[in-house]
Amino acid sequence: MMSEGQSSAIESTTTAACACNVSPTNAPHFHKELKPEPAILGSVLEHIGNTPLVRLDRLAKSESLKCDLLAKCEFFNAGGSVKDRIAIRMVEEAEKQGILKPGYTIIEATSGNTGIGLALASAVKGYRCIITLPEKMSREKVDVLKGLGAEIVRTPTDAAWDSPDSHIGVAKRLNKEIPNSVILDQYNNVYNPVAHYDGTAEEILKACNDDIDMIVAGTGTGGTISGLARKIKERCPKCIVVGIDPVGSILADPEAPAEGGAYQVEGIGYDFVPETMHRGLVDRWIKTEDRPSFVMARRLIREEGLLAGGSSGAAVEGAIRAARELGAGKRCVVILPDSVRNYMTKFLNDGWMSKLGFIDEGAEQEKKRRASRWGSATIRDLDPKEAVVIAATSSAREAVEIMQENGFDQLPVISSNTGTLLGIVTLGNVLSRISSGKADADSTVKDVMFRFKTSSSSTFREITLDTRLSTLEEFFEGNTAAIVTERLSVSNQRVAFKPVSVVTYVDILSYLMSHS
């Protein structure tokens, strides 16, 4: 127990009522009775647990499985993942022990989801929350954490777990530097597996009437699979426990060197075995790879309507492989840890998948089919009209008048001296700037425009009269209009463009209808 004003990490040595072997430390702990969710919640924290168990009949049929395949959908928790369970449990137990008090700071090293759960609890309970997070974790996770009021410290993805620069090492350093701070430490906290022993496993057993033949879960801290395995084996001793471990992680075989290098799936796998990982409870390990994991995650969305994340894809891909040995009348339950919310710009995005060579065959065929509609047609075949432009030195009033006269909602902005493209002005942004008092009708266009950066390091998308319509259609998936340009000059530092036309989806739709 720490004295007033000290910083501390929670030790798994609290005096408590039970010492069941739910984690390798065999630390004493308390258990909680599973209770139904109330009709009216006292706070959003009461919407953690009691997640649905859903049949994956379409996937099971397409994969020719004879057994029942059920998914425990943990993304229905308040914060969107299975980690909400351990976050609230670690916080509540720390409060009971007097380790966490009002005004204290919670610090945690996490791949994102535990951090979101802790930030959620901190927002409701009023704690300061600092999360250390490896750089590979998605932008969406960072945005959610910031939205919940957490402070973020990014760390190198390739830093070894015991390095001072790792997310664990940085969390420990901050804990020493910040008074009244606590590391709840999901990697060593006995209430990580206990939360699943008391909650997740009990919910599954209750739903399945204590009849489970196989349970499949991804492994990271190991808390989920350890808690599940201990409770389910007590009531279903013949149940096969299958652990999912990505290629590049050592959890399946700590004695063997990790092969495959870095992996893209988030939230599972490590380069060390946490204290909360009870490997002796796992009957079988399955190694998964990025591409089939992300392809399966997309299939979960498309075929089952489950908006699950990449590690859910890994779990289901592994579950299907393992469940082939089960016959009719048998039951396999797989844990879906989190939702697609955290990965909208990653595996859900065709461009990201294609860039990393992960695009699935079905999506690739659909892409080719759509492209074939356009043949070799280019923007030149649209016979586009000359661009209506405005100089950056003109007034916002003039820009609005030109857009009203032409029925436009945006205009390319050019330099009054060189005629080169500088950016774009939109009705929406002019309205926003003026209504917020940041500009007025007499402000220059350069004060209300979106400026393009066309240096070699930027992501400026060059579109010309020779750009294929199939490529333009893809561009319109994330944009409402395309400024067609012509190169004026090229240097190492800058590419100058002249706007020649503006085309919209209506233009290519009209072309498609007239040439169908």
User: Of 465, 453, 466, 464, which Cα lies nearest the Cα of 495?
Assistant: 453
Helical (H) or strand (E) element with 174 = helix 167-177
CB atoms within 10 A of CB 417: 9
Residue appearing with tokens 């919640």: 41
390 neighbors 398 (Cβ within 8 angstroms): yes
Alpha helices in 280-360 (DSSP H): 290-304, 310-323, 350-355
Question: Measuring CA to CA, how many Å separate 89 from each of 141, 170, 486?
Answer: 21, 24, 60
User: Of 23, 22, 86, which Cα lies nearest the Cα of 49?
Assistant: 86
User: Of 432, 434, 419, which Cα lies nearest the Cα of 389?
Assistant: 419
Question: Measuring CA to CA, how many Å separate 262 from each of 158, 248, 353, 454?
Answer: 8, 6, 16, 32
| 3-class state of residue 108 by DSSP | strand
Q: Crossing angle of helices 113-125/83-97, nearest 10°? A: 50
What residues contact 481, with CB distance under 8 A and at least 6 apart?
A: 410, 502, 503, 504
What residues contact 174, with CB distance under 8 A and at least 6 apart?
A: 107, 130, 132, 153, 181
d(CA 493, CA 475): 25
Phi-psi label, residue 23: left if phi above 0, alpha if psi -120 to 50, beta otherwise: beta
Q: Is 189 exposed, middle or buried (0-12, 13-18, 19+ CB in 10 A)?
A: buried
Q: Is 172 a catalytic residue?
A: no
Out of 83, 141, 233, 330, pick the active-site residue. 83
d(CA 501, CA 385): 6
d(CA 322, CA 393): 66
Question: Measuring CA to CA, how many Å separate 263 from each of 114, 259, 282, 298, 323?
Answer: 20, 10, 23, 18, 25
82 neighbors 227 (Cβ within 8 angstroms): no
Q: Is 380 exposed, middle or buried (0-12, 13-18, 19+ CB in 10 A)?
A: middle
Question: Measuring CA to CA, how many Å separate 65 from each of 240, 306, 320, 324?
Answer: 17, 19, 8, 6
Half-sphere exposure of 391 (CA within 13 A, CB side): 7
d(CA 236, CA 180): 44
Catalytic center residues: 83
